[in-house]
Amino acid sequence: KDFYTNQGFSPIAYLRVAKNYITGNGLGGGSTISQQLVKNVLLSPERSIQRKIKELILSIQVNQKYTKDEILEMYFNNIPYGGTSIGVQAASQMYFGKKVEDLTDAESVFLSGLPQSPSLYSPFSGNKYYLARTKAVLKQMVADGYITQSKSDTLYKQIEGFQFSQKYSSIKAPHFVMYVKQKLEEQFGSQMVLSGGLQVTTTLDYDLEKK
């Protein structure tokens, strides 16, 4: 929420990362939008102290070279939104069959929640976890003063009634496929799963699955 005022990193978040590392909870979390951009475009998905240091330095340099709006534009155009969709334009086409400039407020709220975990929140995964995610996004928008509670309630009702584009809904065994994809992302990172050329063998017997 402090994207427009920070210098590419959050000192408080880094203290939280340090605490997690010391207590054995790993190196996850703590990334600003600038750091997410650097991580997705310039660095590998590995989690290490060295990688975190590189991420910090590059994020500061990105903020010195580009305006905040330019950083946000690059972020929107380079992050994964699920399936083969890289960038918000591709995501808009995949989920709603329209150009990004034609999105409604409710559709924009849905898309803004996806990047945290595209596989988990995909509406094609056989569940509706995206509803809880969009509710969290709306709650934060109300807390930060961008919309009223009344507006939030209206948008949520619209999201509940979404009819998503059928372009990608013909995945065989979608719930299983998205589950496997989620596990791969947890192990290798979203960028490696989407563009790393991985070959994955699973336990699924599709003939048995159909029966």
Q: How far is CA 77 from CA 64, 66, 176, 197, 201, in A?
A: 20, 15, 28, 21, 30
Of the candidates 192, 190, 181, 198, which has an alpha carbon nearest to the alpha carbon of residue 79?
Answer: 190
DSSP designation for 86 = B
CA distance 32 to 59: 9
| 89 within 8 A of 121, measured Cβ to Cβ | no
CA distance 121 to 102: 22
Question: Any idea how long the chain is?
Answer: 211
| pTM for this predicted structure | 0.72
CA distance 133 to 120: 10
| 168 within 8 A of 122, measured Cβ to Cβ | no
pLDDT attached to residue 176: 86
The ranges of the chain with pLDDT < 70 are 13-14, 17-18, 20-21, 25-30, 44-45, 166-171, 195
Residue 194, C-beta contacts closer than 8 angstroms, at least 6 positions apart:
80, 84, 86
Of the candidates 138, 147, 94, 142, which has an alpha carbon nearest to the alpha carbon of residue 118?
Answer: 94
- Block residue for tokens 């596990």: 183
CA distance 28 to 180: 21
